């Protein structure tokens, strides 16, 4: 999955994600022979249309009373619309959806603030306290539900990216082993929608419990480090899970074991995103914009990373830290699993009662 198992390997893989994205895009565009053929035909059509127009202008100049039209097919000079097969089109769609949702939330928050100023001009009173409580409650619900909604909407376009990367890998394997048939990779994003929702809920609860722990600490530096770790770890787990699901037969339990074995790599891979979210903490604003643009690159970088087994070893300090904090990581996963199972069972039971 990565070039190394440690923290610095994860950080390097994230920093190399834009270059990896550009290389995969160019390889996919060159891999599509139909597009190149259509581009050549389009150039010939444009050249032919230009010559026909020049011929008609010359004849209209010398024979003004009866212009002669050249027989033949009328070729339009408009470009032929075709999907390039690269990665930029679905990536831009993801960016537009995410930025549009953030802008909608900014507009709603401004309207909510105007309503508060016109309805309660005084800053004191029980009504103002109730309005403020409702505002904080709605803000907390949006901070939890909006990433879930963005993730589910982006899944469609991320599946297109997975399909195109699977095509690229199958073509590369066919060139290396032309005599052996290549096995189709599992391009589904998760085994089922329920499995994907379960993963999202689990890591959100996991991040919330670490953030809750940091709020009770008196040291600002330790609290800041815990918040950066929680956010970086959560988004790295989201991103690398797309790569994990491409191999058939893999389960969420196996993914948790994989996380525990390489958790330092996960923290390094999501470190930039964690620092950015702490630097811009307001999700409805600059923080949301940063997350909307950076997170898809995090996912595509994980999808394009090499899956060869790593030969690098951890440093002595990193190995000590990995063993020291692995036990705390395992303990922190138990309440998150319990709460996730409770929520999923409650939702499934409620849906069953409403349906039947």
Phi/psi for 267 (5° steps) reads -65, -40
Q: How far apart are CA 259 and CA 332, in angstroms?
A: 13
* Contact partners, residue 90, CB within 8 Å, separation at least 6: 157, 158, 160, 161
Residue 197: Cβ within 10 Å count: 18
Report if pTM > 0.75: no
Q: How far apart are CA 319 and CA 314, in angstroms?
A: 6
DSSP H helices in the chain: 7-15, 17-31, 33-62, 88-119, 126-176, 193-215, 220-244, 252-261, 263-269, 271-279, 286-303, 316-355
* Contact partners, residue 229, CB within 8 Å, separation at least 6: 210, 267, 274
| Residue 89: closest CA among 244, 270, 296 | 296
Residue-level pLDDT, tens digit, the chain, 356 residues: 443 467 788 888 888 888 888 887 787 777 665 555 555 666 666 777 777 777 777 766 655 544 444 444 444 443 433 444 567 778 888 888 888 887 887 787 778 777 777 766 555 555 666 666 776 676 666 666 666 666 666 777 777 777 777 666 666 555 554 444 444 444 444 455 677 778 888 888 888 888 888 888 878 888 888 888 888 888 888 888 878 877 777 778 888 888 888 888 888 898 988 888 888 877 666 777 888 888 888 888 887 765 543 444 566 776 777 777 788 888 888 888 999 899 888 888 887 788 76
Residue 149: Cβ within 10 Å count: 11
Contact (Cβ atoms closer than 8 angstroms) between residue 94 and residue 295: no
């Amino acid at each position: 999955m990565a070039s190394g198992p440690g923290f610095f390997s994860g950080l390097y893989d994230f920093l190399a994600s834009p270059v990896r994205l550009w290389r995969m895009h160019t390889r996919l565009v060159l891999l599509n022979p139909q597009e190149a053929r259509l581009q050549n035909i389009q150039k010939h059509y444009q050249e032919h249309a230009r010559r026909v127009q020049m011929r008609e202008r010359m004849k209209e100049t010398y024979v003004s009373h009866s212009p002669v039209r050249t027989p033949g097919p009328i070729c339009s000079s408009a470009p032929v619309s075709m999907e390039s097969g690269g990665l930029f089109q679905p990536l831009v769609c993801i960016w537009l959806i995410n930025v549009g949702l953030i802008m909608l939330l900014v507009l709603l928050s401004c309207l909510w603030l105007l309503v508060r100023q016109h309805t309660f001009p005084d800053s004191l009173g029980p009504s103002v306290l109730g309005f403020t409580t409702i505002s904080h409650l709605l803000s907390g619900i949006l901070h939890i539900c909006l990433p879930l909604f963005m993730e589910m909407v982006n899944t469609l376009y991320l599946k297109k990216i997975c399909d195109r990367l699977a095509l690229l890998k199958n073509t590369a394997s066919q060139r290396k082993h032309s005599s052996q048939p290549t096995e189709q990779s599992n391009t589904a994003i998760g085994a089922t929608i329920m499995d994907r929702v379960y993963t999202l809920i689990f890591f959100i609860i996991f991040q919330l419990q670490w953030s809750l722990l940091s709020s009770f600490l008196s040291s600002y530096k330790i609290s800041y480090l815990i918040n950066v770790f929680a956010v970086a770890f959560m988004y790295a787990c989201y991103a690398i899970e797309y790569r994990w699901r491409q191999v058939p037969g893999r389960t969420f339990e196996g993914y948790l074991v994989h996380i525990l074995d390489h958790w330092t790599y996960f923290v390094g891979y999501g470190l930039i995103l964690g620092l950015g979210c702490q630097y811009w903490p307001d999700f409805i604003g600059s923080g949301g914009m940063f997350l909307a643009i950076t997170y898809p690159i995090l996912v595509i970088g994980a999808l394009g990373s090499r899956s060869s087994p790593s030969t690098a070893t951890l440093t002595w300090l990193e190995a000590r830290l990995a063993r020291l904090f692995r036990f705390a990581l395992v303990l922190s996963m138990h309440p998150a699993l319990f709460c996730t199972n409770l929520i999923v069972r409650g939702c499934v039971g409620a849906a069953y009662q409403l349906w039947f």
